[in-house]
């Protein structure tokens, strides 16, 4: 539960733009995350991320031989695959992140 809460906090920081390095942004304003960003954000290995891609659970795009993930796809993936995500989000006190 604590680990999921930490992941949620990292995602909220990412959405708020509180990251160490600038993110790629598409013309429509959508942010793109690379493998490094997503592995750090979800605290998973590159192999786990590859497994999510291969299974079709996590949509991705290849741009100049580099893998990117749309922020909206990542959030949808988390909501779908982490059963406690909605409960944690709902139970968090207002203004906590």
Which domains, ranges and CATH numbers included, belong to the chain? 2-91 (1.10.10)
Report CA torsion sign: 48, 54, 40, 64: positive
pLDDT tens for each residue of 32-77 = 999 999 999 888 999 999 999 999 999 999 988 999 999 999 999 9
* 83 CB-near residues (< 8 Å, 6+ apart): none
Quote the pLDDT of residue 92.
Answer: 60
Phi, psi of 63 (to 5 degrees): -130, 115
Phi, psi of 93 (to 5 degrees): -65, 150
CB 78 within 8 A of CB 6: no
Cβ-based burial of 29 (10 A; exposed 0-12, middle 13-18, buried ≥19): exposed
Q: Could you tell me which of 38, 37, 32 has the C-alpha nearest to residue 63?
A: 32
Phi, psi of 96 (to 5 degrees): -95, 20
pLDDT tens for each residue of 2-15 = 676 777 777 777 66
């Amino acid at each position: 539960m604590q680990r999921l809460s930490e992941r949620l906090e990292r995602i909220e920081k990412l959405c708020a733009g509180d990251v160490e390095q600038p993110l790629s942004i598409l013309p429509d304003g959508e942010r793109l995350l690379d493998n490094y960003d997503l592995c750090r954000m979800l605290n998973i290995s590159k192999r786990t991320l590859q497994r999510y891609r291969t299974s079709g659970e996590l949509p991705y795009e290849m741009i100049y031989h580099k893998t990117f993930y749309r922020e909206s796809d990542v959030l949808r993936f988390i909501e779908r695959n982490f059963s406690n995500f909605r409960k944690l989000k709902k139970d968090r006190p207002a203004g906590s992140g």
